[in-house]
Structure 1
């Protein structure tokens, strides 16, 4: 039996993730009390002609204290030889604030004494035991509903091929590190085009910045080292049945150096692997 447990802070896209799995034939249950985890698989397995595939959403709307016991409940399920996968979705707090403001929905933890921002921070603490058990983490801050569907489908289900999808993502450290990256590389030691006012308005996708960085031997050395590291280890992850892998490249603001290196890595690996994507987190905002 395959059981996917979806969790995350309110507004991070759990419903979209659940819908993505439902579209793929999973039996889905939203807002399941954590204490019922051990009972549900047995009930659904009765009379099934083939091992069922199930996805459940567990969030902060739960029985008081139940989330603290999540690690023990998960261990019990795995001891029953149930294939469990925990997917934790999240977004930065400012993004969650904007989503709640635009939808005008009430956060489950807000009341007369707890503001929205306080509720969002409190939820982080309450979901800590679940987040710590996550097999897959997805940062939905820059993603649309359709992109959440795509990432869940690729990371949880795959596409039926043996080829792993490689996502190379640039970001800015001053905006926070991505929570869903498998590898994070820091390129802030490279020469910064930001200090050249003539090319500051451009990004790593533009020719002036590309020419500036390409002329620096240190940048080429960094690219070669990253390329060799990924080339060495990526096939080993692929042979381990991984369907999705994210490599994050970070600089200070996520506009110049990380974008340039990500673009070069994307171009290089797209010639060697079937499924390569490049995304620039800060440029998409």
Structure 2
């Protein structure tokens, strides 16, 4: 098995070129996570597209004032059959037409896939008509072997959590955006620090919506929680001070040729205060730059 935890290395030298990232691989291997990371990087993303429609998508996305030069598509065995078998030929035709094509294969060890499906209780797309999960995974691996053989990059997600995989993909394609990519992450201190963060901010000193019974089941993305926190002067001061600090120091990292920085904000449960602050900071920076990602460890 080709185990690779290094980010994709893809040159984006000409902004007028069309770049198509095709994500495929084992079901449960992380294609949805990878697609969301590219969506946060302003790629035009489509999941579960029939391969025969890829040329039409590229053509349609490239037309008009709102044309998209960065496209990402998820393709997997849900579209199995003759159409799926023609995918290598379709990709070859797109590359011959001048499209900058990047085929990324998300792999994962069988025993890890079995565990993931057991934990999530999801049904494997091939586990039908009495076929066991183990047999479905084996059949999918055989069907995908030709695509794995021609992939530009094979990423083994067996030892990666959701955040690590998202960061791996985003780091590889951050060069598709202007400037440094920012990842804002919320987390719960009671579950430990996110060890791959560059900066960690502690929001546990702020008023806690958890103690409001009607707000407890909600998150910092919900309007009632936002209204509660926006009504607290201490929260506004914390947000302003954090923004001012980041505004002052992030340019220094950008000047040092850093392509990716992760800012983690934690609170006790990782659902209310930290989520709200991450969303507010991301909105602030998205107004002025590309490549701003969010990840809520206790929600996603």
TM range (shorter): 0.5 to 0.7
Picking from 18, 23, 35, the partner of 1:6 is: 23
Question: Of 83, 88, 100, which residue of structure 2 is paired with 1:66?
Answer: 83
Matches of 1:157 and 1:105 in 2, distance apart? 31
Q: Which position in structure 2 is the counterpart of 1:80?
A: 97
Distance 1:49 1:150 in 2: 28
Task: Give me the TM-score of the superposition, normalised by structure 2.
Answer: 0.51
Q: Structure 1 length as normaliser, TM-score?
A: 0.54
| Number of residue pairs matched by the alignment | 164
* Alignment pair present for 1:45 and 2:65: no
Output the aligned Cα RMSD.
Answer: 2.2
Deviation at 1:111, TM superposition (A): 1.6
Distance of 2:128 and 2:153 partners within structure 1: 32
1:89-128 matched pairs, under 5 angstroms: 89-128=106-145
Distance in 2 of aligned mates of 1:161 and 1:49 = 18
Contact 1:97 1:116 in 2 (8 A): yes
Deviation of 1:51 after TM superposition, in Å, equals 5.2
Q: Which residue of 2 is the match for residue 140 of structure 1? A: 157
- Which structure's relative contact order is higher, taking Cα pairs within 8 Å and 6+ residues apart? 2
Quick one: distance in 1 between partners of 2:45 and 2:176?
20
For residue 158 of structure 1, report the CA deviation from its aligned partner.
4.1
Deviation of 1:160 (Å): 7.0
Q: How much has 1:155 moved relative to structure 2?
A: 2.4
Pair 1:131 & 2:148 matched: yes
Distance in 2 (alpha carbons) for counterparts of 1:51 and 1:32: 17
Tell me the alpha carbon deviations over residues 16-59 of structure 1, each in whole angstroms, 9 at most, x when there is no partner.
00000000001100111111111110011110466521100000
Q: Is the contact made by 1:70 and 1:129 (CA closer than 8 Å) also made in structure 2?
A: no
Out of 7, 17, 21, the position equivalent to 2:34 is 17
Structure 1 position 125, deviation (Å)? 1.1
Structure 2: gaps (5+ residues): 1-17, 180-258, 260-300
Out of 161, 165, 172, the residue aligned to residue 155 of structure 1 is 172
2:24 is paired with a residue whose SS is: strand
Task: After TM superposition, give the deviation of residue 112 of structure 1 in Å.
Answer: 3.1
Determine whether 1:29 maps to 2:46.
Answer: yes
Check whether the contact 1:67–1:130 (CA below 8 A) recurs between aligned residues. Answer: no
Aligned partner of residue 150 in structure 2, secondary structure:
coil
Runs of 5+ unmatched residues, structure 1: 163-242, 244-285
Distance 1:141 1:55 in 2: 23
